[in-house]
Structure 1
Amino acid sequence: MGKPDSPSLQHATADIEPGVSIHYVVAGSGPRTVVLLHGFPQTWRAWRHIIPRLANAGFRVIAPDYRGAGNSSKPLSGYDKRTMATDIYRLLYEHLKLSCPVAMVGHDIGLMVAYAFAQTYHEDVTHLVAVDAPLPGTAIFDQLSGNSRNWQFSFHKVRDLPELLESGREREYLQWFFNFRISNPAAITEADFRDYLTAYTAPGAMRAAFELYRSFDQDSKDNRDLLANKGKLRIPVLVAVGATSPTASPVRGMMEEVSTDPRVLPLPGAGHWIAEENPEGFAAGLIDFMGPHR
């Protein structure tokens, strides 16, 4: 499969609440909608290779910059994932006036938001795709967060110190962060990295990113309450994992804690940054998973 034709991308911003706006990208005009939620330290551009493939396959694709990232607002609070899920709900159903449920795809932090959305607004979600990410409130998350390999979970939660130490060193910090979990370094070019660096050197961007981690304790409580009150997700769930990612096996076990029958999509040649390292295989897996037979 060659490089897909690039559909036109429409950029817009939605006012979600006073002082908070969400930037988003839309492509395609199919009857089914897929929402793509990026992670840290990325923006909607993490999906740049996936969007045209999904749009050309007949989906309408919506890729927001979640609260605190990219061209979206960076307020002082609201980084618990239920609040961020509400942002996305308001974007979809109050601003864009969608009338049908959507498929949610979340990578890294984006999965945490997508899961909160699926549990809170379960009638508005047809499918959930978990892309190499931990989920607060699960036993697997507790194991991962206690592993020294995942030191950033603890470091980012410290108040003020991360901002102090990385200020003026964003390039070095973010470059290390990408390299630490990548299998194919050519997948994120210097130009790609510069786009992410520009986004995260904007005023307030790194503070907002650290607030995502500082909300994990609240996220854990919220997710446990959701699971206790609503039970496991019964919608189709896909777990996409890079073949070289050390979290591949735990992520599958994690989704078994919160959903009834997760399906696994292993992707060769990829580490953590699946949508960029193996976009062809990942997009094909998504299209198969969300196809008409589903």
Structure 2
Amino acid sequence: MYSFAEDINLAHHKAWISSEDNVRIHYVTAGHGDKTILLIHGAPQTWYAWRRMIRPLIQAGYRLVIPDYRGAGGSSKPAGGYEKWTMAEDLHKLLHEHLHVNGPVAVVGHDIGSMVASAYALRYREDVRTLTTMEAPLPGTSYFDERKNAKSAWHFDFHAATDIAVHLTHGREKWYINRFFQDLCYDPDAISPEDLEHYARSFEAPGAMRALFEAYGAFERDVEIHRADIAENGKISTPVLATGGAEQSLARNYAPMMEEISHDVRGELVPRAGHWVPEENPEYLARLIVGFDSEHM
């Protein structure tokens, strides 16, 4: 299944994160460098979204921690806890209580993973060396308020109506998920039928679609939490790389958006990529992240 990395030692693990709501996080590790990078996938995806970036990041000397966040892939799918603040807490516990990571790390998020990554940087300000976000309007910003009302963001409201969304997609999970990949790709060959099958199987699992929709249903609470934190503690000083696929028009908004969160923002887009940047142009994205993070060691 993982022929893209047959010569790379990938290790799969599960960690108990919360006994209170019975949450276990599945995660993959690779590499043995003295620099740790946390890669947080988007939706509807799993850790597998980063598969093509594993090799270049290992070669750059990084130790990779690639989780399935709460509700996705091999991780638990509890009824609640989908505020990005809580999802960030899961991953902070994973790094610091289970993996005993010392010192700040590079945090990278894509899509909803960017929302989790930003919550992580807000909540654990001293534990993040650099933050890279891409392909998501972040709750708590003015761009999020603008974007959620756009016609092309129809799925925000649909997913937030959790019971309706679960009922209408039941038995159609594969078709529904594949539409997002087909619609938002710049390079239609970047994600193969085998890749689509992997994602489809993941979201056909019991509770997976409901968990996906709950992550959207928590957006308004995310807005409240993030705005309250910035109002109380101010913007973060963490250097931020705001990126996205250059072949779609939304990406130009990401740097100004992140300036509402951080004092130190660089905007740079990834060519030959639409929404699914880590899969469409992974080599370029890896070089961009490594170069940016290296400047702040």
Does the pair score TM above 0.5?
yes
**Partners of 1:245 and 1:280 in 2: how far apart?**
19
The answer on whether the counterparts of 2:130 and 2:296 sit within 8 Å (CA) in structure 1 is no
**Cα separation, partners in 2 of 1:159 and 1:195, compared to 1, 3 Å:** closer
The equivalent position to 1:153 in structure 2, one of 131, 156, 162, is 156
Cα 1:293–1:144 change in 2 (3 A) is closer
Aligned match of 1:76 in 74, 79, 82?
A: 79
Q: Specify the alignment match of 1:8 in structure 2.
A: 9
**Counterpart in the other structure of 1:286:** 289
How far 1:54 moved relative to its partner?
Answer: 0.6
Report the counterpart of residue 49 of structure 1 in structure 2: 52
Change (3 A) 1:98 1:150: same
| CA distance in 2 between partners of 1:246 and 1:293 (Å) | 29
* Displacement after TM superposition at 1:58 (Å): 0.2
CA distance in 2, matches of 1:293, 1:212: 32
In 2, are the aligned partners of 1:236 and 1:261 still within 8 Å (CA)?
Answer: yes
- Does structure 1 retain, via aligned residues, the 8 Å contact 2:11–2:28? yes
Give the C-alpha shift of residue 27 in structure 1.
0.6
Q: 1:219/1:293 Cα in 2 relative to 1: closer, same or farther (>3 Å)?
A: closer
Q: How does 1:1-294 map to 2 (within 5 A)?
A: 6-18=7-19, 19-291=22-294, 294=297
For the structure 1 residues 293 and 113, does the alpha-carbon distance in structure 2 shift closer, same or farther, using more than 3 Å as the test? closer
Could you tell me how far 1:282 is from its partner in structure 2?
A: 0.5
Taking only aligned residues, the RMSD between alpha carbons, in angstroms, comes to 1.3
Read off the aligned partner of 1:171 and give its amino acid letter. K
Query: 1:106 and 1:100 mapped to 2: Cα distance?
Result: 19
8 A contact 2:130–2:240 mirrored in 1: yes
Shift of 1:117: 0.8
TM-superposed deviation, 1:259: 1.0
Question: Does the CA contact (< 8 Å) of 1:7 and 1:56 recur in 2?
Answer: no
CA distance in 1, matches of 2:23, 2:282: 31
Structure 2 residue ranges without an equivalent (≥5): none
Deviation at 1:231, TM superposition (A): 1.1
For 1:251 and 1:178, the matched residues in 2 are separated by 21
Q: After superposition, give the CA deviation of every residue in 1:47-92 in whole Å (9 maximum; x if it has no partner).
A: 0011121111101110000000000000001000111011001100
Instruction: Tell me if structure 1 keeps the 8 A contact 2:162–2:210.
Output: no
Alpha-carbon separation, structure 1, partners of 2:258 and 2:156: 19
Q: Secondary structure at the match of 2:260?
A: helix
In 1, Cα distance between equivalents of 2:140 and 2:29? 32
Tell me by how many angstroms 1:156 deviates. Answer: 0.5
CA shift for structure 1 position 239: 1.0
Q: 1:130 to 1:60 in 2, by over 3 A?
A: same
**Match of 2:16, SS?**
strand
SS at match of 2:189: helix
- CA shift, 1:293, in A, is 5.5
Write the distance in 1 (CA, Å) between the matches of 2:63 and 2:110.
Answer: 19
Runs of 4+ in 1 over 3 A off after TM superposition: 3-6
Deviation at 1:245, TM superposition (A): 2.1
Paired residues of 2:132 and 2:240 also in contact (CA < 8 A): yes
Deviation at 1:7, TM superposition (A): 2.4
When normalised by structure 2's length, the TM-score is 0.96
Alpha-carbon offset, residue 256 of structure 1: 1.3
> Which AA in structure 2 matches 1:147?
A
> How far has the Cα of 1:29 moved from its partner?
0.8
Whole-Å separation in 2 of the counterparts to 1:129 and 1:111: 8
Letter matched to residue 270 of structure 1: A
CA contact (8 A) 1:4 1:53 kept: no
